[in-house]
């Protein structure tokens, strides 16, 4: 594909965020959109993620965004004409400490007030939902049956192909090298395949969004951090929901394919772009999950890998235009929740760019909140 | 090669599925793996990787050495979580 000379919007990043924004902009009538991806689509955080989708959060902002995202996910295979393998087996959040019990009670009250179908349950009820669960140490749990997961590759490619059918030009293996501004306005983007004039750039570069910000001359307070994950061979269906614990620090789900995927966040993980793997992770992961679900001892791991969380100071995304650079929009810092929030975040981003206002208020997700000291602290993150 | 020919035996992926992916414009092993699951099964591509590389090269009119290899991911052989956790008698 030959490089275009001029675009109305340039998107940096071909992950779920970039591709879903491209699709939503095109769907709402925007023409002449170009998307640049330095590798192949879904090669960064999206294709490496745990692919869970949950509405059980501790802040109103996250609950509302996730609730609306699930609604979009529920019709997405049809909307994009591509099976995204959505599986709503629920999320079972396990409380092992009194602190978690108190937090979960608060979360459930908040979630229910926002119309999310979630309930606070006993360890025995949790075992009815997940029969192989070891309930030792479990004080209580919460369960939301409409949470679940989808195939991140399929969802990413589904958005990309739907965007292309609407005229979006996607340039794979094309690396953005610079972003030019004049008088605090975006004027062009240079890549290793040529330069494109554009008044609007959307930073959807995930683990490299801080670096992309620097190209436009702005400091975005995000950092990247490796999160490791492993997957087992496919086995017969053992349990439907995603199992999750904050205090014991794990998440684990069985995909429709039969393989079981699991991960945890290492609190001592240094900041940076390392995406290597370690045997220490595999061992600790195996110890955590065989304790929680003992019959997993007999299941074999076949592969381990890692990807980058792009963290913001309050673990909430930064969505909006930069106040100092006209035309520089950001959809970054999703802090491990980019896949699940992409359907709604991309729609709101398209509304913001094309209409100047959004159907769900996201003013507080602006970058200015860090200077104002108006952080939205999410207590429920892995 | 027939469309029904199984290329990835672990995941039951046929040549037809791989051919369609190539024709859509996905011509790297990484993309084909992500889209079809070929090479993601128990043997992790030990059997099918070379066949797919050869077919990508043929499709793109390139030499097999010019086709990028996907990332090799540990472990080399499947290992039981019980063994990994260190409390297995095996």
A348 touches A319 (CB < 8 A): yes
pLDDT value at residue A351: 98
pLDDT value at residue A381: 77
The secondary structure element, H or E, covering residue B23 is helix B15-23
CB contact under 8 A, A233 and B34: no
pTM of the model: 0.96
Alpha-carbon gap, residue A18 to A42, rounded angstroms: 10
Q: What is the mean pLDDT of chain A?
A: 97
- Of all residues in chain A, the one with the smallest CA distance to B34 is A153
Alpha-carbon gap, residue A51 to A152, rounded angstroms: 6
Alpha-carbon gap, residue B84 to A300, rounded angstroms: 9
pLDDT value at residue B90: 47
- B35 pLDDT more than 70: yes
- Label residue A377 by pLDDT band (50, 70, 90): confident
Interface test with B, best of A41, A301, A305 (most B CBs within 10 A): A301
- B89 pLDDT more than 90: no
Interface test with B, best of A134, A163, A297, A307 (most B CBs within 10 A): A297
pLDDT value at residue A379: 82
Q: How many CB atoms lie within 10 A of CB A19?
A: 32
Between A117 and B72, whose confidence is greater? A117
Query: What strands lie across the sheet with A318-321, from one edge to the other?
Result: A169-171, A33-36, A9-12, A201-203, A328-332, A318-321
**Burial letters A186-225, b for 16+ CB under 10 A, else e:** bebbebeeeebebebbbbbbbbbbbebbebbebebbbbbb
Q: For A232-286, what is each residue's pLDDT tens digit?
A: 999 999 999 999 999 999 999 999 999 999 999 999 999 999 999 999 999 999 9
Average pLDDT value for residue range B66-71: 86
Domains and CATH numbers, chain B: 6-85 (1.10.10)
CB contact under 8 A, A287 and B71: no
Q: For B21-34, what is each residue's pLDDT tens digit?
A: 999 999 999 999 99
Q: For A43-66, what is each residue's pLDDT tens digit?
A: 999 999 999 999 999 999 999 999
Apex A319 CA angle, A352 and A175, nearest 5:
100
Question: SS3 of A101, please?
Answer: helix
Alpha-carbon gap, residue A166 to B17, rounded angstroms: 25
CB contact under 8 A, B30 and A40: yes
Alpha-carbon gap, residue B33 to B50, rounded angstroms: 13
Alpha carbon distances (Å) from A333 to A125, A144, A207, A269: 36, 25, 8, 17
**Structure-block tokens of residue A72:** 């979009």
Average pLDDT value for residue range A337-342: 98
**Structure-block tokens of residue A236:** 């017969």
Chain A residues in contact with B71 by the CB 8 A cut-off are: 305
- B contact set with A (CB within 8 A): 24, 26, 28, 30-31, 34-35, 37, 40-42, 44, 71, 73-75, 78-82, 84-88
Helix A338-355 with A152-165: angle, nearest 10 deg? 20
Sign of CA dihedral A71, A74, A79, A80: positive
- Label residue A8 by pLDDT band (50, 70, 90): very high
Interface test with A, best of B85, B86, B88, B89 (most A CBs within 10 A): B85
Alpha-carbon gap, residue A70 to A207, rounded angstroms: 24
- Of all residues in chain A, the one with the smallest CA distance to B79 is A300
CB contact under 8 A, A286 and B81: yes
Average pLDDT value for residue range B61-68: 92
- B88 pLDDT more than 60: no
Comparing CB atoms, the residue among B24, B73, B88 nearest residue A297 is B88
Q: For A129-150, what is each residue's pLDDT tens digit?
A: 999 999 999 999 999 999 999 9
CB contact under 8 A, B81 and A232: yes
Domains and CATH numbers, chain A: 9-47+153-221+314-372 (3.50.50.60), 86-147+223-310 (3.30.9.10)
Average pLDDT value for residue range A17-46: 98
């Amino acid at each position: 594909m030959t490089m275009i000379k001029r675009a109305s919007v340039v998107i940096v990043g071909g992950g779920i965020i970039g591709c879903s924004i491209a699709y939503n902009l095109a769907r709402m009538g925007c023409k002449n959109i170009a998307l640049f991806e330095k590798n192949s689509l879904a090669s960064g955080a999206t294709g490496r993620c745990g692919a869970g989708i949950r509405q059980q959060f501790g802040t109103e902002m996250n609950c509302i965004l996730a609730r609306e995202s699930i609604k979009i996910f529920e019709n997405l295979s049809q909307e994009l004409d591509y099976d995204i393998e959505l599986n709503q087996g629920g999320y079972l959040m396990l409380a092992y400490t009194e602190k978690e019990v108190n937090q979960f009670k608060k979360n459930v009250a908040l979630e229910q007030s926002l119309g999310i179908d979630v309930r606070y349950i006993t360890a025995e009820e949790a075992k009815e939902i997940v029969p192989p669960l070891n309930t030792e140490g479990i004080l209580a749990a919460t369960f939301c049956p409409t949470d679940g997961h989808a195939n991140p590759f399929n969802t990413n490619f589904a958005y990309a192909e739907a965007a292309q059918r609407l005229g979006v030009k996607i340039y794979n293996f094309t690396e953005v090298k610079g972003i030019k501004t004049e008088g605090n306005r975006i004027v062009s983007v240079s890549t290793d395949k040529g330069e494109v004039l554009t008044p609007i750039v959307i930073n959807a570069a995930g683990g490299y969004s801080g670096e992309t910000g620097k190209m436009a001359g702005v400091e975005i307070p995000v950092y990247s951090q490796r999160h490791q994950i492993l997957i087992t061979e496919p086995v017969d269906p053992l349990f439907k929901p995603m199992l999750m614990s904050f205090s014991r620090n794990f998440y684990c789900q069985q995909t429709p394919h039969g393989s079981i995927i699991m991960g945890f966040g290492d609190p001592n993980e240094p900041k940076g772009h390392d995406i290597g793997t370690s045997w220490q992770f595999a061992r600790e992961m195996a110890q955590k999950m065989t304790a929680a679900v003992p019959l997993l001892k007999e299941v074999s791991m076949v592969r381990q890998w890692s990807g980058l969380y792009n963290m913001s100071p309050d673990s909430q995304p930064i969505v909006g235009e930069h106040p100092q650079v006209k035309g520089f929009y950001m959809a970054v810092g999703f802090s491990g929740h980019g896949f699940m929030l992409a359907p709604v975040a991309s729609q709101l981003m398209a509304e913001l760019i094309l209409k100047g206002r959004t159907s769900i208020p996201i003013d507080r997700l602006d970058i200015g909140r860090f200077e104002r000291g108006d952080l939205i602290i999410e207590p429920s993150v892995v | 090669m027939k469309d029904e020919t199984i290329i990835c035996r672990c995941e039951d992926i046929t040549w037809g599925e791989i051919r369609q992916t190539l024709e859509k414009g996905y011509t790297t092993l990484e993309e084909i793996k992500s889209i079809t699951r070929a090479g993601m099964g128990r043997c992790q591509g030990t059997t099918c990787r070379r066949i797919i590389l050869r077919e990508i090269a043929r499709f793109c009119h390139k030499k097999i050495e010019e086709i990028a290899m996907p990332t090799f991911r540990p472990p080399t052989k499947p290992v039981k979580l019980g063994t990994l956790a260190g409390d297995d008698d095996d």
